[in-house]
A and B are shown apart, each in its own frame.
Chain A
Amino acid sequence: MNRLLLRAVLGSAVVLGGSLVWAATPGEATQLLVTGYDGDTGNLAITYDPACSSSDHNIEFGPLQDVDTLGYSGQECGIGTTGSYSAFNPGAGSFFFLVVGNDGASTEGSYGTNLIGGTPSERSEDLTDPQCSFVQDLSQRCDGPFEPELDLTAYRPASEAYGAPLQRAAVPDLDEESPGTGIRINGDDDNGNAQPDRDDTGVAGENDLIEITVTLDPPTPAPGFEYVLERSNPNLRVWNEATKATEVITSGDTAVLNPPGVTSTLWVENPVGGSADLSLSARPTGGGPDVATDRVHFYPFHGIIVALGGEDQVPHDPPNDPGNQGTFDLAIMLYQMGYDVHMYDEDVVSASGAGAAFNEVVSAVQDRGVTGVTIFGYSHGGGSTNDLAIRLDDNRASIGTFSIEYTAYMDGIDNDSDLDIGAENQIPASTQFHDNYYERVCPIVVIFPLCGNSIPGSDLDLNVNTTPWGTSLGHFEIDDAPEVLDGILNRIVSLPVTR
């Protein structure tokens, strides 16, 4: 009989340590030889090289006259994996036969390749299975060309909690390498133990790491290959948990991955600043050219953006009142574009400027290497923009080095209290660039109007009612006008230290 090349593929799930793991399917058994014949019994002795990833083998046979159509008529089941078998006896007559690897359960691999007509093609499988039933699966054969599907997906940062008010958002594939993924320098102290989180492990409340999902298909590489996670430099550290319990890359810049499933989650930290790339690759074991790779670029945030809604506008993604809370629409867009955005109810800024927004900016400057602050707001959020800027400027010496890169009002109303209805009339303290969008067709009760006003000295001081697109925009519409939102967006994108 001919030497048969048997290529087998397994696609079975096995449980290891309680986790569901997908294994590669068997390769083909090769080097099939008849090594003996027992004249008394009629038994043939054979040897073969077992198929990779196989747990057992069968012999498939049929009448020799049917070899051209692979007309199988019988099976010898469970011949093991030793590579030899001495009791094959198909009976009287002439037969063709071949050896097929299987997973010991239900899946069998390749029957080898024929060259009928000079074109290599997979031999057809035995569908009758008279003795032992297996289903062929060639989709992940361990000896096939190894072309795994790898994906590294990064997500936007936590703000303020992860998933609220801003939704967990994946960085689009097109942005993964350029501009990449923003990441906060982890110098703050989220667990309040008087130690910078960068020097800490097991950080309860840690919110500065970036989630990445690692997809490896198949999860176990073919024999001779390995999956590796590689950083371009130590500006990045990779952890198994958002709270920094177990580090993944423990020496050098590379770690071989043994994931528990197709997709797993890791967390990336930027301890001291600087950019870096993180790559996920499949390569020959021990090193060699990658057969597949995916890469994400990480850049440290040097800017922070604070978005302050109008009275009774509660930050939410998507906004609670779609089409009527443009401040948050803009904040969400900037967040998804890769800025470090924090959107707040304007009440978090007290009339003195103190509160959660102030604390966030102070922490960003003092602990996270941020040097540029952007603040914008609508109505009372505009007034709070000024209150926050004043407090930041007043406490500049204590806070550290930063500049208020950009501010914007959308019909800013002074916010000395929730009942304040006076137009905000100050340019935010020390701002480098200020845009003031206002309207004058505002509602008036008796003699009291509710609208912003001109603030001379603003870089843009625009009464939207004087524009073709904003003739009728009032206080309750100006913050939703695409022209206003685009104007602020474009300004932020054009300025240097907003991201």
Chain B
Amino acid sequence: MIRSRAMIALLTGLVLCSMALGAAPCPERDEAIQARINDVVTAMVQDGTTGEQVEALRQAADGRREALLVQLALFLGDSESTEESSVGALLVQALEFTPDEKLTAVLPHLDAEPASLRKVLTEILSTIDRPDGGTPDFAFYEQWLRQHGREPSAALIRYMYQVSPGMALAGMTRVFSGEGTAAPNPAGVSALETLVARHEGLLPWTEGERADAGEVLDRLADDPSWWVRLYAAATLQKETGLGTPALRARLAADQDALVRSVARD
């Protein structure tokens, strides 16, 4: 039963991946590893034991731990039951991937379709920046960005701004402004963050608050630093009721490709 479901999911995933080519490389399935993962899940659900199967999985991966993590992500992306997703999550935890392994595995595919795979990949990243929930800590990513630069890490930057525009802005400023930890956030950002937090799923915005927020965003959208303009674009993406069409259009035509892409999402 589990096996047949997994096989159907494999086929479905293949179709979805092939339909969505273009944004980011779609990870290829390693059918041998997928079969091993399925063996673990089946053994766990049916017998509650996995020792030999886990070891077989390790061997099938042959030391390519990042590749194994990608295969686990593909498996989880096609999961259709608590049994599959829970045991898959157990495997990810039990194999104790390091943050470096996780980011190396995930980053090339972070913008890949389908959405179910992208969700799994971002969940893997969340175990780096929020291992115990709560407020994200982007310190590891900042270190990565210092080492690798912006261009190969655009998907990571987009992810950071999706998780927390304010924390991402602070991190980018530290990494790219040259001011390090002394870099302050632009004026108005703290007040805007407070406003956004206050209204998350609660009180509706007043016209005055909308106007204040719009004024801050309008100013940030003209900032010479791309990471500040990206903050404006990411905030508008999350708070669809803020900003004017003109402001959105301006950001959608921004000189920076990353800002443009977020503003157009």
A416 at the interface (CB under 8 A from B): yes
Within 8 Å by CB of A312, from B40, B82, B124, lies B82
Chain A residue at minimal CB-CB distance from B132: A416
B76 at the interface (CB under 8 A from A): yes
Nearest CB of chain A from residue B134's CB, rounded to whole Å: 8
Within 8 Å by CB of B94, from A351, A379, A447, lies A447
A487 at the interface (CB under 8 A from B): no
Nearest CB of chain B from residue A361's CB, rounded to whole Å: 10
Nearest CB of chain B from residue A313's CB, rounded to whole Å: 6
B240 at the interface (CB under 8 A from A): no
Within 8 Å by CB of A351, from B79, B83, B92, B130, lies B130
- Contact digits for A315-328, partner B, Cβ 8 Å, 1 yes 0 no: 00000010010000
- Are A446 and B85 closer than 8 Å at their CB atoms? no
B139 at the interface (CB under 8 A from A): no
Within 8 Å by CB of B130, from A310, A416, A475, lies A416
Chain B residue at minimal CB-CB distance from A325: B82
Residues of B within 8 A of A358 (CB): 201
Within 8 Å by CB of B82, from A310, A387, A420, A444, lies A310
A421 at the interface (CB under 8 A from B): yes
| Residues 399-423 of A at the B interface (beta carbon under 8 Å) | 399, 413-414, 416-421
Query: CA of A419 to CA of B44 in the docked complex: distance in angstroms?
Result: 17
B120 at the interface (CB under 8 A from A): yes
| Residues 86-137 of B at the A interface (beta carbon under 8 Å) | 86-87, 89-94, 119-120, 123-124, 126-127, 130-134
The CB with the most chain B CB atoms within 10 A, among A358, A398, A416, is that of A416
- Contact digits for B190-214, partner A, Cβ 8 Å, 1 yes 0 no: 0000000010111110000000000
Within 8 Å by CB of B87, from A362, A395, A443, A447, lies A443
- Are A418 and B81 closer than 8 Å at their CB atoms? no
Chain A residue at minimal CB-CB distance from B130: A416
Query: CA of A387 to CA of B132 in the docked complex: distance in angstroms?
Result: 12
Given contacts A416-B132, A420-B89, contact A443 B201 (CB under 8 A): no
The CB with the most chain A CB atoms within 10 A, among B76, B85, B89, B201, is that of B201
Given contacts A312-B84, A476-B83, contact A419 B127 (CB under 8 A): yes
Given contacts A417-B130, A447-B94, contact A395 B86 (CB under 8 A): no
Given contacts A312-B82, A312-B84, A321-B81, contact A419 B92 (CB under 8 A): yes
A15 at the interface (CB under 8 A from B): no
Residues of B within 8 A of A309 (CB): 82
Query: CA of A3 to CA of B211 in the docked complex: distance in angstroms?
Result: 89
B48 at the interface (CB under 8 A from A): yes
Query: CA of A351 to CA of B86 in the docked complex: distance in angstroms?
Result: 17
Within 8 Å by CB of B81, from A312, A378, A413, lies A312
Within 8 Å by CB of B133, from A313, A379, A416, lies A416
- Are A417 and B82 closer than 8 Å at their CB atoms? no
Query: CA of A362 to CA of B202 in the docked complex: distance in angstroms?
Result: 7
A441 at the interface (CB under 8 A from B): yes
- Are B120 and A443 closer than 8 Å at their CB atoms? no
B80 at the interface (CB under 8 A from A): yes
- Are A441 and B93 closer than 8 Å at their CB atoms? no
A450 at the interface (CB under 8 A from B): yes
- Are B54 and A417 closer than 8 Å at their CB atoms? no
- Are B201 and A312 closer than 8 Å at their CB atoms? no
Chain A residue at minimal CB-CB distance from B76: A418
- Are A313 and B54 closer than 8 Å at their CB atoms? no
- Are A445 and B40 closer than 8 Å at their CB atoms? yes
Query: CA of A448 to CA of B48 in the docked complex: distance in angstroms?
Result: 12
Query: CA of A29 to CA of B24 in the docked complex: distance in angstroms?
Result: 86
- Are A312 and B80 closer than 8 Å at their CB atoms? yes
Nearest CB of chain B from residue A443's CB, rounded to whole Å: 5
A355 at the interface (CB under 8 A from B): yes
A178 at the interface (CB under 8 A from B): no
A474 at the interface (CB under 8 A from B): yes
A169 at the interface (CB under 8 A from B): no
B45 at the interface (CB under 8 A from A): yes
The CB with the most chain A CB atoms within 10 A, among B76, B81, B84, is that of B81
Nearest CB of chain A from residue B132's CB, rounded to whole Å: 6
- Are B123 and A419 closer than 8 Å at their CB atoms? yes
Nearest CB of chain B from residue A260's CB, rounded to whole Å: 40
- Are A417 and B202 closer than 8 Å at their CB atoms? no
- Are B87 and A445 closer than 8 Å at their CB atoms? yes
Within 8 Å by CB of B86, from A355, A379, A398, A399, lies A379
Chain A residue at minimal CB-CB distance from B120: A418
Chain B residue at minimal CB-CB distance from A418: B123
A13 at the interface (CB under 8 A from B): no
Chain B residue at minimal CB-CB distance from A312: B85
Query: CA of A14 to CA of B195 in the docked complex: distance in angstroms?
Result: 64
Query: CA of A398 to CA of B203 in the docked complex: distance in angstroms?
Result: 8
- Contact digits for A461-482, partner B, Cβ 8 Å, 1 yes 0 no: 0000000000000111000000
Chain B residue at minimal CB-CB distance from A441: B48
- Are A359 and B201 closer than 8 Å at their CB atoms? yes
Residues of A within 8 A of B204 (CB): 194
- Are B85 and A443 closer than 8 Å at their CB atoms? no
Residues of B within 8 A of A313 (CB): 81-82
- Are B130 and A354 closer than 8 Å at their CB atoms? no
- Contact digits for B209-232, partner A, Cβ 8 Å, 1 yes 0 no: 000000000000000000000000
- Are A474 and B93 closer than 8 Å at their CB atoms? no
- Are B48 and A362 closer than 8 Å at their CB atoms? no
- Are A399 and B202 closer than 8 Å at their CB atoms? yes
B50 at the interface (CB under 8 A from A): yes
Residues of B within 8 A of A416 (CB): 126, 130-134
Residues of B within 8 A of A443 (CB): 44-45, 48, 50, 86-87, 90
Query: CA of A416 to CA of B135 in the docked complex: distance in angstroms?
Result: 11
Q: List 5 A-B contacts (CB under 8 A).
A: A419-B93, A443-B44, A445-B44, A475-B86, A476-B45
* Beyond A398-B198, A419-B126, A450-B90, 20 additional pairs, beta carbon < 8 A: A313-B81, A351-B126, A351-B130, A398-B203, A417-B126, A417-B133, A418-B76, A443-B44, A443-B48, A443-B50, A443-B87, A443-B90, A444-B48, A445-B50, A445-B90, A446-B94, A448-B93, A450-B86, A450-B89, A476-B86
Q: Which residues of B contact A (CB under 8 A)?
A: 40, 44-45, 48, 50, 54, 76, 79-87, 89-94, 119-120, 123-124, 126-127, 130-134, 198, 200-204
The 8 closest A-B CB pairs, nearest first, are A416-B133, A310-B82, A445-B94, A311-B85, A445-B90, A446-B94, A417-B126, A418-B123
